[in-house]
Structure 1
Amino acid sequence: MAIDRETTPSEITTLVGREVYSNNGVFVGEIEDLRLDLNAESVTGLALHQLNHELFDQETRSSRGVIVPYRWVQAVGDVVIINEIVERMQTPDSESAEPDAEGEMRA
């Protein structure tokens, strides 16, 4: 299912509680809340909790959750599919991924 950027507000709230997976099928977390830009009337991020601890460093694991940019969303259906970038952010050869000042993940 393609992303419908013209989703009505009542449909946006149905995202809460949905599981988020990378496009490679790896569980990332569950949507707890949405980050909105009220001026642009758009969703800018997904606040995730119940995180897959294998994808995030210890600091992130001890926090309440993370916010992933909505631009990473590839598809919305029974689950939400995002780019595999979360999987690539932490590799054994690189530094851990850490949230930036706005709570978005950076490598």
Structure 2
Amino acid sequence: METDVTNLIGLEIYSDKGYRLGNVNDVMVDVDTQTVYGLYVEKTNDGLVEDGVSVLVPYRWVRAVGDVIILKRFPTFVSVSSTE
């Protein structure tokens, strides 16, 4: 199934457990292979991602795309590592 990648922007993403992760803000594309390799997610659920920071979700984790995006897997909690 082909879809215009711009149609993914703004869609809500849900974890495999049914929790809302956030909204797609950008789509990462490998221009050499012309494939989507990740979804940049903003306004993340701070119950899933520490401080609600933005995350890049590998596209291979996507189970289904429709009115929303459903993931095959997502960590129970994503911690933010300190860069100090």
**Superposition TM-score, scaled by structure 2 size:** 0.84
Aligned length, in residue pairs: 81
Structure 1 counterpart of 2:8 = 15
Structure 1 counterpart of 2:68 = 79
Task: State the superposition RMSD in angstroms.
Answer: 1.7
Structure 2 counterpart of 1:51 = 44
Aligned pairs for 1:1-107 within 5 A: 4=1, 7-8=2-3, 11-58=4-51, 61=52, 63=53, 65-86=54-75, 88=76, 90=77, 97-98=79-80
Offset from partner CA, 1:69-89 (integer Å, 9 cap, x none): 000000000000012323x2x
Higher helix share: 1
Structure 1 runs (4+) deviating above 2 angstroms are: 83-86, 96-99
> 5+ unaligned residues in a row in structure 1: which ranges?
91-95, 100-107
> Quick one: distance in 2 between partners of 1:33 and 1:76?
15
> 5+ unaligned residues in a row in structure 2: which ranges?
none
Larger radius of gyration: 1
